[in-house]
Every structure is written in structure tokens, then in C-alpha cells.
């Protein structure tokens, strides 16, 4: 009988392969049907030609790229180390599935506007949602691989995770006030114990104090490997105050792309789809998806999010709000402006001499 690991591996591979094929089939089939409706003729040759091209494209991509990369990863375990810096499988999915789908979105919009402008856009309702949903689900599956699906997450996952984050644990170290009182009782000058002095382990980059006021910091796997715990001391709230990294993956992956989903939705509205704003919206929306090739622990993820999402989206939403009111909420424009402004201020302006504050001013 097959083990649980093999069954989970087979299910994950089938799901990822289906998410690779389904968006391409659906988008190209809807594109062929849309082209047939726009041209107003009953000729099925063009329709079946595009459908057959989609099948040939998926088979070529699967045999030439997807299967060889999967075999290389499972035969060479060292390839898993690449996921600490970047995710090659997500890059392949982004280039082979998402990019062609976005290209067909732009082509369908241009064909419709050139033949029958200002007509209701029925093409981008299902295909856009399906493309982004499959991309998010592939990301979720890729992040769930290192976790078990049964039982509580009580063991730290050390496989394929760099030990680059401090984890808090409590040890019994006397506080400074307790040492002062003890020193006053014995009429001796107060001295701090050696256990609260900051130390630096060999080979570790930044300096972390080994113990401060009873708190010990040590390098350990990512925060997602912490076991399921309850943060409430009350027994009545113990059922609510729970946390599990496996459940948080689903929430984080969908919330992470809400801004991009909203921007693509704007491109499907009737007013915007009839204008020339469709092309820059789809281009910048795809560029914002490039962040998916970085792992969640990468220090470049936040900066790329500001440069590839908030900065271009802000300068697209401001003209859209002025030209096409009520097409996009003001909330997203405010979010882009706040994220961009705070990123520039706290990371660059605070380093200038004008914005610096000396410690003497607070004494």
C-alpha cells in the first residue's frame, strides 16, 4: 500500500499540472469563441484551429519544460536549495501559463475595440479570475509541501528552511531590580550577571543578544515552523486564540494579491475596456506577479512589492479616478500612496542629516 508521502506527492503534482493546463485551455477557447462572435460568421475553422493550437502548446510545454524540470528537482535534491533564494517552478508557471493568458487578454481587447468598440466585454470575466486563482493555488501547494496535512503542527520544520530568524524562548534569569535589591541587602555594589551580556555566535550575521531580561533569542527556522499554540491565558478564549502556519498560508496567499486582482478587475469594466488603458493595466498587473518567484522569507520581497505594484498602480489609479470615476475604489489609491510614501521616508529620508535625531535631545 502506498505511503502517505507518496499519495500527497502524487496529488500535489496532479493539481499543479491541472492548474498549468486549465487556464491555457479556457483562455484560448474563450478567445476563439470571442473572435468568432466579433467577426459575426459561422465558420468553425478558426475556432478549432485555435483550440488545437492550445492543446499542442500545452503538450509541448509539458514534455519539453515541465516534466524535465520536475525530474531534475526530484533526482537532484540540491535543487531544493534554490527555493531559499528564488522559486524556479513559479517562474516557469509564470512564463508558460500566466504570460500567454495575459497576452490573449490584451489581444481580445484590441480585436473587440477595433471591430466593435464600446461593446460589453464578456471575455475577461471568467478567464482572468481563473488565471489568477490557479496562480495562487499553485503558490499555496508549493508552500504546503514542507508541512504535514494530518495532526497538529508540533514539530519544527527544518527541511528546506534557512535558519535566519530569532525565535523567542524564556529562561530563568534574575531581573536587574532583583539583583539591585539583593546587592543592597548584602551591602555590595550591584553587578549584572554574565548571562545578560550580548554575545555573537561565530558565523552568524547580525548581533542578537543571547538573553535579555529573561528572554533568550536563538536562530531557528522560519516563523511558519512554530507549533500550533494558544496565546490566551483564559480557558474561554483558548479555542479562538489558536494559530497554525498551514491555515495562514491560504489567507496570506489570497490577501497578498488583492491589489492586483482589483486592478485587473478594473480593466474588465465597460468604460476602461473601451479605452487605451487596458494595455498598461495588464502589463503592470503581470509585472506585479513577478514577485511570486521570491520566497516569503526573502528580504527583497517588500521592496519589489513597492516598485512593481504600489508605484505603478498609484500612477495608473490617479488618472483612472479622474477620467473614469467610480471604476476603482479610492481606498486602493490611498493604500498605494501610503505604502510608497512610508517606504521612501523611513528607508531613505530618515538617513539624511536633516531628519536625524541625536540621543542627547531625549536625555
pLDDT tens column, 15-67: 999 999 999 999 998 888 878 777 766 667 888 888 899 999 999 999 999 98
Label residue 172 exposed, middle or buried (CB < 10 Å: 0-12, 13-18, 19+).
Answer: exposed
Region 186-193: mean pLDDT is 49
Q: What is the pLDDT of residue 230?
A: 47
Radius of gyration, alpha carbons of the chain: 27
DSSP letter string, 303-323: HHHIIIIIHHHHHHHHHHHHH
**Ramachandran class of 208: left when φ > 0, alpha when ψ lies in -120 to 50, beta otherwise:** beta
Sign of the Cα torsion 126, 127, 132, 136 reads positive
Q: Of 51-65, 127-141, 151-165, which range is least confident?
A: 151-165
pLDDT of residue 256 exceeding 60, the answer is yes
User: What is the average pLDDT value for the chain, to the nearest integer?
Assistant: 75
Q: 30 with 127: CB under 8 angstroms?
A: yes
d(CA 346, CA 209): 25
Share of the chain above pLDDT 90, in %: 27
- Per DSSP, the three-state class of 217 is strand
Share of the chain above pLDDT 70, in %: 67
pLDDT tens column, 204-223: 444 434 443 343 434 444 44
d(CA 17, CA 24): 12
Q: What is the pLDDT of residue 97?
A: 92
Q: What is the pLDDT of residue 340?
A: 93
Residue 126, all three cell numbers: 471568467
pLDDT tens column, 102-111: 999 888 888 8
Q: What is the pLDDT of residue 270?
A: 79
Amino acid at each position: 500500500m502506498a505511503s502517505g508521502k507518496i499519495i500527497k506527492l502524487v496529488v500535489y503534482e496532479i493539481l499543479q499540472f491541472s492548474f498549468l493546463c486549465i487556464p491555457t485551455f479556457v483562455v484560448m477557447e474563450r478567445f476563439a469563441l470571442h473572435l468568432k462572435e466579433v467577426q459575426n460568421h459561422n465558420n468553425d475553422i478558426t475556432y478549432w484551429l485555435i483550440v488545437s493550437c492550445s492543446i499542442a502548446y500545452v503538450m509541448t510545454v509539458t514534455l519539453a519544460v515541465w516534466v524535465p524540470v520536475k525530474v531534475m528537482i526530484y533526482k537532484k535534491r540540491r535543487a531544493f536549495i534554490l527555493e531559499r533564494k528564488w522559486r524556479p517552478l513559479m517562474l516557469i508557471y509564470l512564463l508558460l501559463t500566466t504570460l500567454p493568458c495575459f497576452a490573449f487578454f490584451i489581444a481580445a481587447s484590441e480585436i473587440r475595440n477595433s471591430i466593435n468598440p464600446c461593446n460589453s466585454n464578456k471575455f475577461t470575466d471568467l478567464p482572468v479570475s481563473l488565471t489568477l486563482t490557479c496562480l495562487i493555488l499553485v503558490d499555496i501547494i508549493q508552500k504546503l509541501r514542507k508541512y504535514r496535512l494530518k495532526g497538529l503542527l508540533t514539530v519544527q520544520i527544518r527541511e528546506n528552511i534557512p535558519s535566519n530568524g530569532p525565535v523567542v524562548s524564556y529562561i530563568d534569569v534574575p531581573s536587574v531590580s532583583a539583583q539591585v535589591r539583593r546587592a543592597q541587602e548584602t551591602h555590595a555594589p550591584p553587578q549584572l550577571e554574565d548571562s545578560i551580556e550580548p554575545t555573537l555566535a561565530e558565523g552568524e550575521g547580525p548581533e542578537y543578544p543571547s538573553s535579555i531580561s529573561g528572554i533568550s533569542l536563538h536562530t531557528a527556522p522560519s516563523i511558519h515552523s512554530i507549533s500550533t499554540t494558544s496565546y490566551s491565558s483564559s480557558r474561554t478564549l483558548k479555542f479562538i486564540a489558536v494559530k497554525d502556519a498551514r491555515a495562514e498560508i491560504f489567507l496570506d496567499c489570497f490577501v497578498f494579491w488583492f491589489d492586483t486582482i482589483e486592478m485587473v478587475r478594473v480593466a474588465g469594466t465597460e468604460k476602461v475596456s473601451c479605452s487605451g488603458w487596458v494595455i498598461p493595466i495588464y502589463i503592470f498587473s503581470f509585472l506585479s506577479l513577478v514577485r511570486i518567484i521570491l520566497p516569503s522569507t526573502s528580504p527583497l520581497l517588500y521592496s519589489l512589492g513597492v516598485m512593481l505594484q504600489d508605484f505603478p498602480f498609484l500612477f495608473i489609479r490617479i488618472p483612472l479616478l479622474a477620467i473614469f470615476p467610480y471604476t476603482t475604489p479610492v481606498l486602493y489609491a490611498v493604500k498605494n500612496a501610503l505604502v510608497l510614501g512610508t517606504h521612501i521616508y523611513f528607508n531613505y529620508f530618515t538617513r539624511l542629516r536633516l531628519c536625524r535625531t541625536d540621543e542627547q535631545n531625549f536625555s
